[in-house]
Each structure stands twice: as C-alpha cells, then as structure tokens.
Structure 1
Amino acid sequence: MTIWMNTLTATLSIPNLGSSVPLLATATEGEADSALVLASVLLSLVVIYFASKLGGEICFRINLPPVLGELVGGVIVGVSALGLLIFPEGGATASDSLLMQFLQATSSLTPETAPAVFSAQAEVISVLSELGVIILLFEIGLESDLKELIRVGPQAAIVAVVGVVTPFVLGTVGLVYLFHLDIIPSVFAGAALTATSIGITAKVLSEINRLTSSEGQIIIGAAVLDDILGIIVLAVVASLVKTGEIQVINIVYLMISAATFLIGAILIGRLLRPFYVNLINQMKTRGQLLLVSLSFAFVLSYIAQVIQLEAILGSFAAGLVLAETEKRKELEEQILPIADIFVPIFFVCVGAKTDLSVLNPAIPSNREGLIIAAFLIVVAILGKVVTGFSIFGQPNLNKLAIGVGMIPRGEVGLVFAGVGSASGALSPSTDAAIIMMVILTTFVAPPLLRIVFSEPVPVPQEQQPNP
C-alpha cells in the first residue's frame, strides 16, 4: 500500500500561518536528531496503546465492539481533542502538538529542530499504521474459509452482491447529483458503504444462539464474500485515486487485475502449500512459522503494490491461502500478539486524523458535512437491509434479520476510511462523515439484531429441565 508514501508527499508542504513552508527547507534549519525521533515515536506509541486499551476496555464492558473504543480513543488524543497525536498532512505544525511541547520541556528538543522531528515522527507512525492494516487483512484472510463460503451457496452470494452494489451505487450517485461532490471522493465514499464487519455480526449471532441458523449461515457466508468483494472494490478505487482518471476501460482493467491477482494468488498458493508445510516442519529455529508466513504475506503485498493494486489485497490473499493449511490454528495463535501490537496503531491513527470540528453545526460551512453524514447513514442502513429481501422462494427465512446482520461496518469500514483519508481523496468533512457512518452502523447493529431475532430459540430436548 502506498498510503505512507502519500503521507510523506503530503508532509512535504506544511501550512503555517497561512503560508506554505517547504519541509525540506525546514529540515536544513534543524536536522532531526535520531535519538529525539526515537523518543517521540516511543511517546506516540505509549499514547496510542493507552488510548486503544482504555477505549477498548470501556466498550467491551458495555457490550460494544472494542474497535469502536480504539477509534474513539484516537479521536480523543488526536486533532479533535487533546492534540497529543497529530499529523502534518492535516495542516498541523510541531507547535500544535502537545507531544512535541512535552519533548521540548523534558529533552534537548528546540523550537528550531522540532518541525523536523515532528515530521519524522509522523512518518514513522504512519508506516507502522500501514503495517497494522496489512496485518489486519492477513488476519481476516486467516479467519475466512473458502470451503464454507462455497458450501453456503448462491443465497449468500446474492446477499453479498446486492449488499455491495446497492449502497455503492446509491451512495456514489447521491453524492454526485445531490451534493455535487467530485467523482473521485464520491466513488470512495460509495465504496466505504459496501463493507460488512463479519467479526461484529458473528459475535452477536453467537451471543443470541443464532449462529447455526439458516439466517446466521447466510449472513456469515455473505459477510465473508463481502470482505472479498470489498477488498477488490477498495483496491480498484484506491488505484483510481492514484491515476486520477475515471474511465470505464480503466475500471474494467483494474477489476480484472484485482480478481486475477486474488484468484491467481490462491491457486498458486495451493500448489505451494506442501512446500510451505515441509519447510516449516524442517526448520528448527524459533518463530519459523510466523516469520515464513509473514514473509509470504509481504511478498504478495509487494506484488499487489507494484502492479498498481493495494498491498492489503496481497496480505488478504496470503491469509486465505494459509487458512487452508494444517498450520492455520497455530498461525492464528501466533499472529494475534503481532496484530495486538500493530493493528491498534492503525485504528487510533484513523481516529486521531479525524477532525470532528468540521461537523460542528454552529459553523455554517460545516452543515453540508452533517447533511452528507446523515445521507450516508441512511444509505448504509437501507442498502444492507434490502439484501435479505433479494432472496426469493424461501418464505420461512427471516429476511429482515439477514439484512440487519449485514449493517455493521466496524473495522472493515474503518479500513476504507483510513485509506481514503491517507490517500487525500476525501475532504475533512467527507472523511468525518464516513467515520460517523461507521460508528453509528456499528453501534445500532447489535441491538437491532437482538430485536429482529426476538423469537425464542428452541431448546433441545436433552437440555430442557426435568418437570
């Protein structure tokens, strides 16, 4: 993924008091001390981990997805509130960062060298954030099951396709013709509406004992396929942002490239599975499974990157391939601590870069952003609810429950928002509107699922109490 490169490009010019100050010129006035850069990165990680765990723990205790807590924690420590973790691409300078001010008070950092240290620190954190999302998609791929997806059959496929196409078309067309947004941010916002968080839905279905029901199986299968379709859509849209061109032949080419890469990577990976397992079994040094698997994921991510797709598509494909090996369970256990280190960086950074002040209704220029947010929320909910009613010929299915189960965007929606924000395709108001849509859909889905599945679950005879 080239987000960190886009971030670096964006930081080459930092608005300061209404003027544009070249970063390279600033760096010559005071070169970044590597020790101070390391110190600032360490402090940033402390802030990130504290915000992610505090927010995650609070959300977990009130029966909400911890990822929401990481996002909200990022908002609190970011540009919208405390200003501890801020980034130059948003127009901030070193003097705006409380972390830089703390370094100046406790170390040898001077106002002259602060801009260079601030820029280097932001770049390092951005790179770590990108590693986080690559590992996240690798983990999602490991949790996916292609055989289960095939077993669920055409019903899940119909739900998934309708759940991707409907909100994407409604969102994109609405933003272009109702709000007169440019085509690229409209397409990106429409793409963000296509996601479905399989983790959130699966957790709720498990809690209410509906995971093995027909509705539950269709929801999970469709959510898995949604992940695949969503990654392809994200890769296509992000590539369009890079080229700056919206042409039908370009879109078709990118879609074919993404699909060919994903299918080809899976087929080739299946051929290499015996070699992979034998290599792991023959190695005697510590960490052989984790390092070989991550190397495979990084190689596919690199290939996806150099052919103008997104690195996350490669890591997702690697996860799908390795999920079919006998090492899957062991690898899932070993990747968890790595994900615990890097993935929170991504989500906290997404929250930290979100300037919620652009949605302040007291400022007239912000009101359009609020209206866009309301529009996206309506499309996000209705665009998924209709998916259940796309299944014909099965009157016994709870079709409303299927549609509601597809509503939550969760971490998948945040991936779209983070990619769009870092690529520069989204304005601050549109980016914040997408974040609001992700938060609301993730909040409302769990209670709505409980309501639509309000009928009591039959208790097996052997579990019924004796009279």
Structure 2
Amino acid sequence: MAWVPGFPALSPLIPLLATAPPADGPLVLAGVLVSLVVIYLASKLGGELCYRINLPPVLGELLGGVVVGVSALHLLVFPEGGGESSNSLIMAFLQATTPLEPNAVPPTFEAVSEVMTVLAEVGVIILLFEIGLESDLTELLKVGPQAATVAVVGVAVPFVAGTTGLMLLFGVAAVPAIFAGAALTATSIGITAKVLAEIQRLTSREGQIIIGAAVLDDVLGIVVLAVVASLAKTGEVAVSNVIYLIVSAAVFLIGSILLGRFLSPYFVALVNGLKTRGHLLISALIFAFLLSYVGAAIQLEAILGAFAAGLILAETEKRGELEKQIRPIADMLVPIFFVVVGARTDLGVLNPSVPSNREGLVMAAFLITVAIVGKVVTGLAVFGQPQINRLAIGVGMIPRGEVGLVFVSVGAATGVLYPPLRGGNCDDGDSDNIFGSPHCCG
C-alpha cells in the first residue's frame, strides 16, 4: 500500500481510487460537494449562533460538526470512527439522486471520507500558517523562557497525574495507563490560536506565551508519542528514536527560522519580479507547504512547518498584503477541519444508560479533570511577569485536538487503549487486550 509522509489519510485513498471503476469518479466528486455543502452550512450556522451569544465562533463550528456527525444527524460519517456507508445520510442522498449502485456505495463512501479528511488536514495547515503570519517572532522570542516553562509543566503534570491515577484508582495496566496519560499532554495549537485570534488576544503577552508553549507542547507531545508507541510495540523504549526526534525538532524549528530570515529578502525580490496573478499568495503557499512537508517527513507534524513558514514571512514587508490574501483561503478550508473534528465526536459513549459505557464514563470524568487542572496550573509556572494574567494562560492551554487524536488512533491501532479508555464499548466482543488489562467493560 502506498504511503504519503505526513498525510496518512492519503494512503488508503491511492489504491482505492486506482481500483475504483471509472464511473465512481464523478460520484465521489458529487459526494465531496454535498459534504462541503453540509460542512459550510454547519460551520456558518453554528458560528453565527455562538457569535450572537458572545462565544467564539470556532465553538459553533465544532458544535455544528457534532450535530451533522455521528452523534446526531449522521450526515458526515467517517470509517475511522467505526462508521459505515449504510449509516451515512449523504450516501443515501447520493443513491436517491444519482446512478450510484448499491455495490459501489462502500468504495464511494471510503473515497469521500478520505478526501474530506485530507481537506481537513490541509485546512489546519492553512490555519497554522495564518497564525504564524499574525504572530510576532520578536515577541515570541522575548517570552521564550516563560513559554518553555509553561510547556514543560503542561506536559509533565497531566502525564504523571493521568498515568498514576489510572493505575492506582482504576487498576489499569502500566502500558495503557502510560499511553492514556501521554494523550493528555499536547495542547491543540489550532483550536487555541483560532480562539485567541477571534477574541483579538493573539498578540497580547499572554497570547504569545500560550502560542509559544503550545508549539513546544506539540513537539514534546510528538516525542512522548514516540516513546510510548515504542514501549507499546516492543516493551522497551528506543533511546535512539527519542534522541532523533528531539534533535530533529530543535534543528527544524530553529534552523528553518534562521535560514528563513536569511532568505526572506530573496523571497521578496522573487515575488516582486513576478507579474502573473496570485504571485504572492502562490509563492507563499509553496513555501508553507514545502516546510510542512519537511516537518512531516522528519516525523514531526506538518502544522509545525506551516507555523514556522508564517513566522518567517511575517518578518517581511509583504506581511500585511499576504494576511489579506490568505484570509479567503482560510475561510474556505479551516472550517472543514473544525466541523470534521466535531463530526467524529461520538457523544453516544457518554450515555450512562448503556452498561458498557459506565466504566469509560468514570475514567473519562477522571481524565477530563486531570486534563483541565493539569493545564490550568501551568499559569503558576510563569516567572518574571508580575502583571501577567496567569489564569488566562492556564485556561488557554486546556484545548486538546490534533496530537491527542493521533495518540488515540495509534493507541487503538496497536491495541494499547482498550475500549473504555478510547471511548468505545465491548460490542465487538473485545473482552481483554494484549497488554494485560484485567477486563474490558466492568
């Protein structure tokens, strides 16, 4: 099976599209178009509703995704969450309005789902590029020590508290407890940055500390993921892999910014020499996607490369013009990411009337508490800033998203996170797991 670095969602799409009959192409496109209509309607209605009650519109986009997703209307259903084509109302709509044969529904459903996943991943890359453009590298460097302290505390406290709590209070085996605790470490820079931008606090001192800490959080989270994934697969930690990730992360972030600042005058000169339409935007996107690819290729996250590219180009004289040109692109792609995240959220696992959910609910309540408290206390770690709002910093570090979802997917794929820990149930008959959990459900 082909594999595309940094975009695992593309991997199953390649053979799928290669083997699908030619007639499926237009039907896949039709499914993607209908899905986009649903996504944009959900994001706009949810965003407008939240805006009118003085809440961040991004919250409305997430809630809109929940409504149209697996938790409610079943319009957007994804196979990664156990969804099937028979449960997708979009597939039913396609069957009713197009010549889609019943035997072609499953491959069409898979293809549409993968396309939407890829578009969501591109959307979060554009979001981080835009956030980088709106950030001030000089201010980020000024708060660097405080951001580093916040990041380290924000990783260590949830990880230790979550792991030890699961082992002592719930009797969870060591490896799945470590994995679940590690999933609490990384702050969602995408969600956090979007909210800060919407409330116009992105460039504040607190905002810069949060963004800097969230970037470092992601790097540390990836290192932690490498450690626990190695532990899950082999029972021991590959020290060489951990060292590689730490060194590559430092070299990539520092090197790309330093090299980018050196080469930025040449970028401006090149753009000024181009005469065709979209010369600035396309050149900037080439640069952003190139750094995103490098970040993904060296086993970091593509979004870190996009953020670094935005920081670099923010130092040029083209910053203001580029910010204006990237906004329509962000308005088109970023909502896809937030709605897809919401659509994949299955609130059915929170139903206490289902016996198989109860153990997971108790664990979830504990982990949510650890996740919130473990980040709020990071504000207390800020030093040398007597007038800073420490509570705001702690609250700004709470959101989880991209890296946390990676943890869950890796944990579920390796069998480390048995159903109650990953928000599932035992309906598939999984009564045990390979890492010695004493039970699955109750």
Q: Does 1:192 find its partner at 2:186?
A: yes
Which residue number in structure 2 is paired with residue 370 of structure 1? 361
1:356·1:432 contact (CA, 8 Å) conserved in 2? no
Counterpart Cα distance in 1 of 2:210 and 2:333: 24
Which residue number in structure 2 is paired with residue 283 of structure 1? 274
What per-residue deviation string (whole Å, max 9, x for no partner) do you get for residues 80-119 of structure 1?
A: 1111111122222221111111111111011111112111
1:168·1:193 contact (CA, 8 Å) conserved in 2? no
Say which of 5, 20, 29 aligns to 2:8: 5
Aligned Cα RMSD in Å?
3.2
2:379·2:393 contact (CA, 8 Å) conserved in 1? no
What per-residue deviation string (whole Å, max 9, x for no partner) do you get for residues 172-206 of structure 1?
A: 44345544261564254222358682553576586
Q: Which amino acid aligns with 1:415?
A: E
2:9·2:118 contact (CA, 8 Å) conserved in 1? no
2:188·2:402 contact (CA, 8 Å) conserved in 1? no
Bigger shift: residues 75-84 or 224-233? 224-233
Which residue number in structure 1 is paired with residue 92 of structure 2? 101
Which residue number in structure 2 is paired with residue 322 of structure 1? 313
User: Alpha-carbon deviation of 1:236?
Assistant: 2.8
User: Alpha-carbon deviation of 1:37?
Assistant: 0.8
TM-score (norm 2): 0.81
User: Alpha-carbon deviation of 1:222?
Assistant: 1.8
| 1:47–1:415 distance in 2 versus 1, CA, 3 Å | same
| 1:432–1:322 distance in 2 versus 1, CA, 3 Å | farther
1:266·1:317 contact (CA, 8 Å) conserved in 2? yes
Count of residue pairs the alignment pairs up: 407
Say which of 378, 383, 401 aligns to 1:414: 401
The equivalences for 1:156-171 within 5 A come to 156-171=147-162
| 1:113–1:198 distance in 2 versus 1, CA, 3 Å | closer
The equivalences for 1:206-285 within 5 A come to 217=205, 219-237=206-224, 239=226, 244=233, 246-285=237-276
What per-residue deviation string (whole Å, max 9, x for no partner) do you get for residues 309-357 of structure 1?
A: 2222211221121121111121111111111111111111111111111
**Secondary structure of the residue that 1:191 maps to in structure 2?**
coil
Counterpart Cα distance in 2 of 1:409 and 1:46: 32
Q: Which amino acid aligns with 2:117?
A: S
User: Alpha-carbon deviation of 1:250?
Assistant: 2.7
What per-residue deviation string (whole Å, max 9, x for no partner) do you get for residues 256-297 of structure 1?
A: 211211111111111111110101111111111111111111
Which residue number in structure 2 is paired with residue 122 of structure 1? 113
2:163·2:178 contact (CA, 8 Å) conserved in 1? no
User: Alpha-carbon deviation of 1:45?
Assistant: 0.5
Counterpart Cα distance in 1 of 2:118 and 2:410: 13
**Secondary structure of the residue that 1:389 maps to in structure 2?**
helix
Q: Does 1:405 find its partner at 2:399?
A: no
Counterpart Cα distance in 1 of 2:33 and 2:155: 40
Bigger shift: residues 109-118 or 221-230? 221-230
User: Alpha-carbon deviation of 1:155?
Assistant: 4.4
Q: Which amino acid aligns with 1:60?
A: Y
Counterpart Cα distance in 2 of 1:54 and 1:106: 25
Q: Which amino acid aligns with 2:114?
A: E
| 1:203–1:136 distance in 2 versus 1, CA, 3 Å | closer
Counterpart Cα distance in 2 of 1:151 and 1:429: 43
Q: Which amino acid aligns with 1:368?
A: E
| 1:93–1:270 distance in 2 versus 1, CA, 3 Å | same
**Unaligned residue ranges in structure 2 (runs of 5+):** 425-442
**Secondary structure of the residue that 2:103 maps to in structure 1?**
coil
**Secondary structure of the residue that 1:92 maps to in structure 2?**
coil
TM-score (norm 1): 0.77
2:50·2:57 contact (CA, 8 Å) conserved in 1? yes
User: Alpha-carbon deviation of 1:382?
Assistant: 2.2
**Secondary structure of the residue that 1:81 maps to in structure 2?**
coil
Counterpart Cα distance in 2 of 1:308 and 1:232: 10
User: Alpha-carbon deviation of 1:167?
Assistant: 2.8
Q: Which amino acid aligns with 1:328?
A: R
Q: Does 1:145 find its partner at 2:136?
A: yes
Bigger shift: residues 186-195 or 52-61? 186-195
User: Alpha-carbon deviation of 1:372?
Assistant: 2.8
What per-residue deviation string (whole Å, max 9, x for no partner) do you get for residues 212-259 of structure 1?
A: 9xxx63x22321221221231343355568765644443232122112
The equivalences for 1:287-366 within 5 A come to 287-366=278-357
Bigger shift: residues 250-259 or 179-188? 179-188
Q: Which amino acid aligns with 2:315?
A: E
1:193·1:413 contact (CA, 8 Å) conserved in 2? yes
Which residue number in structure 1 is paired with residue 435 of structure 2? none
2:164·2:177 contact (CA, 8 Å) conserved in 1? no
Counterpart Cα distance in 2 of 1:392 and 1:404: 15
User: Alpha-carbon deviation of 1:140?
Assistant: 2.1
**Unaligned residue ranges in structure 1 (runs of 5+):** 13-22, 434-467
User: Alpha-carbon deviation of 1:78?
Assistant: 1.0
Bigger shift: residues 68-77 or 361-370? 361-370
Bigger shift: residues 287-296 or 247-256? 247-256
Bigger shift: residues 286-295 or 311-320? 311-320
Identity score, percent? 55
User: Alpha-carbon deviation of 1:300?
Assistant: 1.2
1:354·1:432 contact (CA, 8 Å) conserved in 2? no
